[in-house]
Amino acid sequence: MTTEAKVLVPDIGDFEGVEVIEVLVAPGDRVAAEDSLITLESDKATMEIPSPQAGEVKEVIIKVGDKVAVGDLILILEEKVSTQEQDALQGIPEESPQPPQSQEAQEPPAAAAEANVLVPDIGDFEGVEVIEVLVSPGDRVDVESSLVTLESDKATMEIPSPYAGEVREVVIKVGDKVTEGDLLLTMMTEAGRESSETQLPPPASEESGTVQAPAPVESGSGKRLPGEKASSPPPVPVRPSDTRAPKAHASPSVRRFARELGADLLQIRGSGPKDRITREDVQAFIKRALSSGAVAAQTAGPLQLPGIREVDFAAFGEVEEKPLERIKRISGAHLAASWLNIPHVTQFDEADITDLEAFRQAEKAAAARKDVRLTMLPLLMKACVGALKAMPEFNSSLSSDGERQVFKKYYHIGVAVDTPNGLVVPVVRNADAKGVLELAAELMETSARARAGKLLPADMQGGCFTISSLGGIGGTGFTPIINAPEVAILGVSRSFNKPVWDGKVFQPRLMLPISLSYDHRVIDGAQAARFTSLLVGLLSDMRRLLL
C-alpha cells in the first residue's frame, strides 16, 4: 500500500516571507530522513529544511524565489507500506506468534527518551562562536554539566545540560556560529525530565497525512548536512517578473561583513562547501585590492573612506606577528562604528575630592568588616546618578531613524573593567536604589566574574551611562569613545594634589580629572558644561545629593 504525507515548513523562528534560494530535490527522487529538501535564506541566517521521514518525492510545490512561512506546504512524499506494517498501524495482530523473550527484554525502555538540546536564551546575540566543545558521543553528563563554551564580543559563557543522560551525537564543532534555538547535540535522557531548552520533533498526523518538517539546520555552521541529490529540480518557466540579479553563495554574516568593507561578493570566488564564500575569502579579496592600489568601492553609504595601503614591515627590520586578542578584534568593529557614526565632543574638568576621599578613608575599616572594599568608584556612581536625574538628556538614547529621543526612567550604570582578555563593560542595574556599600559589593563580585570570563550577555546589556576609570593606572585625561546607543561616557583619570586659592592662601587639594565625551546630535556644549559642573559640585560635597 502507498501512503502520502505533506511536508510543511517547520518552526523557523519569528520570520515571515523567507525566500527559497535552492530546491534540492525533484519529483521521483528518493530521500532519507534528515536529507535536505530546500534552502531558505532570511536576513540573518541560511537554513536547510530536512525531510522528516524517508520516501519518494511525488510533487514539489514551491520553487526558487518563493517566499514561505511556518506551515506552508513544501512537497508531497510518497511511501510504500507493507501489508504487515499496515496491519500494525491499524492495530491488527500478526498471525505468527513472536518468539518468547526474557522479562528484561520485554520491558520497554520507559526510563529513556531521546531529546535535542538547543542553544538556550543567550540574550540579544546572534552568530555567537563556539570556542570549546566539552563532551563527545558516549559521554555521560549530569544536570548543569557544561556542554559547550560560547564567546561573543563581550562575554564567554558555558552552556549547561538541562538534564542527565548520555550524549548520542554532537552536532556542532569549534568555530561554528550559533544562535538561540540552534541544535547543539542529541541525548538519551530520563523520560519526563523535559526542559524548556529541549524540543522533540512533532509526530506525523495519521489522519491528515501531514508531516511537520523538523527544525531547520543552518548551513555553513558546522552542522551535519545531508548528501547532495544527483537529480536537479524541474525547470521552471521564467517570467519577466521572476528575473533577478545573480546571488552570491554566502551566509548573512559574511554578506554583512562584505558590505562593511565595500566588497562585491559577485567578484569573489568561494572556498567553502559548495563554493560558499567565507569571511577569509572576503578578507583575501580586500587585501588583493589594496595591494594593487585599488580602493574599496561600492559601499552602502555616500561616504567613501579611502583604504589604508598595506605595508611590508619586514622590509625595514625584524618583525613578529601575533593574533589580535579576540575581544579586541570583535569589539573593534563596535568602537569604529560608534566613532564614525556619532559626532564626539569631549568636555574636561576637575573635581575637588579632598573631603570625599577623607570620608572614604574613614569608612574603609567599617566596609572591610563587611568584606567590602570601598573604592572611589561606587561614590562616583552615586554622583553620576544624581547628575543624570537632574539632567535627563544624558540618560537617553537617539532612535535609529534619528527622529526621536528615548528618555529612560531607570539608572543602569556601565563600568569598564580591564580583564586579561580585554576590556568588558558589565552593567550595574538600578544604581539609584542601592547604597554605596551595596554598590561596592556588587562591583567586587561583577569584576571578579569579568576577569574569570564568567559574565553572561545579560550582564552587559541595558546600560544608560558608562564610567571608564583609569585612575588606578595613571594619566591626566583622555577622550573615551561613547558606548552606543548611549549618548555620553565619563572618563576618570588619576587624582593628584594641587594648590588651590581659597581667597586668602593656596590650600593643597586633591583633584580628580574627568572627561565627558558626548553625542553632539543630542547634547550641545552648554549642556555638557553644565553636567560636568554639576558632577564636580556633587563630588566636592556629596551632601548635595540629599537636597
Residue 93 contacts residue 56 (beta carbons within 8 Å):
no
- E-strand ranges in 292-395 read 344-352
Grid cell in block for residue 77? 512524499
- Taking the C-alpha atoms of residue 149 and residue 159, their distance in angstroms, rounded to an integer, is 6
Please, are residues 105 and 93 in contact by the beta-carbon 8 Å criterion? no
Sole residue written with cell 521552471: 236
334, 344, 412, 520: which one is catalytic?
520
Q: Round to whole Å and give the CA distance between 20 and 24.
A: 11
361's grid cell: 578613608
Helix, strand, coil distribution of the chain in percent, nearest 5: 25, 25, 45
Can you say how many angstroms the Cα of residue 145 is from the centroid of all Cα atoms in its chain?
22
Q: Give the C-alpha distances (Å, rounded to integers) separating 480 from 335, 406, 538.
A: 10, 23, 22
**Pair type for strands 413-415 and 465-469:** parallel
Closest among 463, 460, 461 to 488, alpha carbons compared: 463
CA 6, 7, 9, 11 torsion-angle sign: positive
One-letter amino acid for residue 497 of the chain = N
Enclosing H/E stretch for 539: helix 525-540
Q: How many other C-beta atoms are found inside a 10 Å radius of the C-beta of residue 214? A: 21
14 three-state secondary structure: coil
Q: What letters, b where the CB count within 10 A reaches 16 and e where it falls short, cover 333-350?
A: eeeeebeeebeeebbebb
Residue 299 φ/ψ, nearest 5 degrees: -75, 160
Nearest to 495 by CA among 346, 356, 347: 356
Cβ contacts of 509 within 8 Å, gap of 6 or more: 352, 354, 497, 498, 499, 500
Q: Tell me if residue 71 falls in helix, strand or coil.
A: coil
Angle, vertex CA 414, rays to CA 458 and CA 423, nearest 5: 85
Q: Is 520 a catalytic residue?
A: yes
Contacts of 89 (CB under 8 A, 6+ apart): 81, 206
Q: Which helix (H) or strand (E) holds 385?
A: helix 376-390
List, by residue number, the catalytic residues.
520
